[in-house]
Structure 1
Amino acid sequence: MSRRILHVATNISHFDNPAHPTGLWLSELTHAWDVFAARGYEQRIVSPKGGKVPLDPRALKWPMRDTSSRAWLADPAKMALLSATACPADINPQDYDATYFTGGHGVMWDFPNSEGLQAITRVVWEKGGIVSAVCHGYCGLLNTRLEDGSFLVSGRKITGFSWTEERLAGVSGEIPYNAEAEVKARKALYEKALLPFMSHVVVDGKLVTGQNPFSASATAGKVASLLGGI
């Protein structure tokens, strides 16, 4: 039976300042999608409100606009997937073997307090599935609690976009919180690469996280390896 992956993407199109656009960092989706597609996995995209997923324009500029994202942009069927994503109520989490939270700064606003996403994540985790995230995607795990009331991330090794990388990206004064500090406050064991913007993946049992956009393929590869053993 084919494995089923649920990708999670943002509906947020700008920072608090409407003149500063954001959205999905496209390559974080496409690189993982390519890894899973090569293995014949079934894939679907969900967002907190369903419907359209905006794209961060910075991710569409060279050198970020790589072969994988260019191919997606040129494929009307793929682009249609981002125009009509499912909402959490449409999803039966029992149907999925893994979740994969994508990033882009927009997720900092709509991922953490989405009860629908939290419910999906909790079910996938507690039935033995894999929970994964790349870059800012770990914001979607900040407030997810398990049935015993504990935070999913508590006591577990994790990575995600670092505060150093936020500062280097020039947006530390515009984002709503420091995600690295927030995940540490929930007693997660945060790790990062020696240098910023290097590919870095952390695996702690069924939790797989990548630090930044350059970690997407490797993160998906780790998920696929774990799925092969389930």
Structure 2
Amino acid sequence: MKFKHIIVLALSLSTLTANSQNNKNNDQQNKDQKKVLFVLTSHDELGDTGEKTGFWVEEFAAPYYNLLDKGVKITIASPKGGKAPIDPRSKADASQTEATKRYNNDKAAQNLINTTVKLESIKAEDFDAVFYPGGHGPLWDLAESKTSIALIETFNEQKKPVAFVCHAPGVLKDVKNEKGEPFVKGKNVTGFTNTEEEAVQLTKVVPFLVEDILKENGGIYTKAANWNVHVVKDGNLITGQNPASSNKVAETLFESLK
């Protein structure tokens, strides 16, 4: 009987040791896992047109799946929290991609969009990088949000990647660098072009033009032909021109996390 007790005790100790090691491995994996914050707009009114706006699905979905499939932990926040509005135009058949189709069938991702975290509860130190998808909505709320501005400035102070695509570079309008100058001053940047805004006939609807504001703030602005992929990286700042650039922005962001 004593011999059996010894065997049972040995097996128990072995199990405890294995469980302890597994817990250590899991803790290490969680520690090593990169964490990226996505910031979406809460604004859904397209100026005085009576039409709706919000974030552009492709600009969320492509980066979301690109990073998620690489093991990145993603948290989604918005100024008001709760359901983030989707720009109806981004749901049109012509705007669909493999990423948006995946999103349309992904209840878990849709639930995250419907239950975003309130932006004021977010702390930059809890994340390795931040990414802002575009759509016209950010030009109204995130560009003016003191919470968003301070958050981006903190990420920059912590030397962490900050990435923006399409209209989202417009949220940098009032963001400052460590010297108190416009954050984009002297930096290579891109964003939704004036000619692309003309093509969608919203030049006189938006509160400001992304290309113009980046130039006015001293950014070294470059662009590709309308709707072509164009991504620019300058230090920890990553910007993409349009929806077609969203996946490459995510790839560039992931490389910056290594």
TM-score when scaled to structure 1? 0.95
Q: Secondary structure at the match of 1:133?
A: strand
How many percent identity over aligned positions?
31
**AA of the residue aligned to 1:210:** G
Q: Distance in 1 between matches of 2:206 and 2:61?
A: 25
Q: Cα offset for 1:70?
A: 1.9
Post-superposition CA distance 1:83-139 (Å, at most 9, x none): 121122211110111111111111110111111111111111111100110000111
Q: Is the 8 A contact 2:138 2:168 kept in 1?
A: yes
Q: Please tell me whether the aligned partners of residues 132 and 165 of structure 2 are also in contact (alpha carbons under 8 angstroms).
A: yes
Question: Could you tell me which of 51, 68, 76 is aligned with 1:45?
Answer: 76
Q: 1:147, CA displacement in angstroms? A: 3.7
Correspondence for 2:246 among 206, 216, 228 = 216
State the Cα distance separating 1:148 from its structure 2 match.
Answer: 2.8
Are residues 57 and 172 of structure 1, via their aligned partners in 2, closer, same or farther at CA, if it must alter by over 3 Å? same
2:191 corresponds to which residue? 160
Alignment partner of 1:20 is 2:51: yes
Kept after mapping to 2: 8 A contact 1:101/1:132: yes
Q: Aligned residue for 1:56?
A: 87
Give me the whole-angstrom Cα distance separating, in 2, the residues matched to 1:16 and 1:169.
14
Q: Distance in 2 between matches of 1:119 and 1:176?
A: 21
Q: Larger Rg: 1 or 2?
A: 2
SS at match of 1:154: coil
Q: Which amino acid aligns with 2:118?
A: C
Cα drift, residue 74 of structure 1: 2.0
Amino acid at match of 1:148: K
Offset of 1:17 from its aligned partner?
2.4
Deviations 1:138-167 (A, max 9, x none): 111111113431221111011000111000
Where do 5+ consecutive residues of structure 2 fail to align?
Answer: 1-31
Residue in 2 that maps onto 1:110? 141
* CA offsets 1:172-206 (integer angstroms, 9 cap, x no match): 1211112211111111111111x111010001111
Return 204-213 or 144-153, whichever deviates more. 144-153
Q: 2:114 aligns to what SS in structure 1?
A: coil
Higher helix share: 2
SS in 1 for 2:223: coil
Q: What amino acid is the match of 2:64?
A: W
Q: Which residue of 2 aligns with 1:187?
A: 218
**Whole-Å separation in 2 of the counterparts to 1:79 and 1:48:** 18
Q: Does 1:207 align with 2:258?
A: no
Matches within 5 A, 1:127-146: 127-146=158-177
User: What is the CA-CA distance between 1:18 and the residue it aligns to?
Assistant: 5.2
Gaps of 5+ in 1: none
Contact 1:88 1:120 in 2 (8 A): no
**TM-score normalised per structure 2:** 0.85
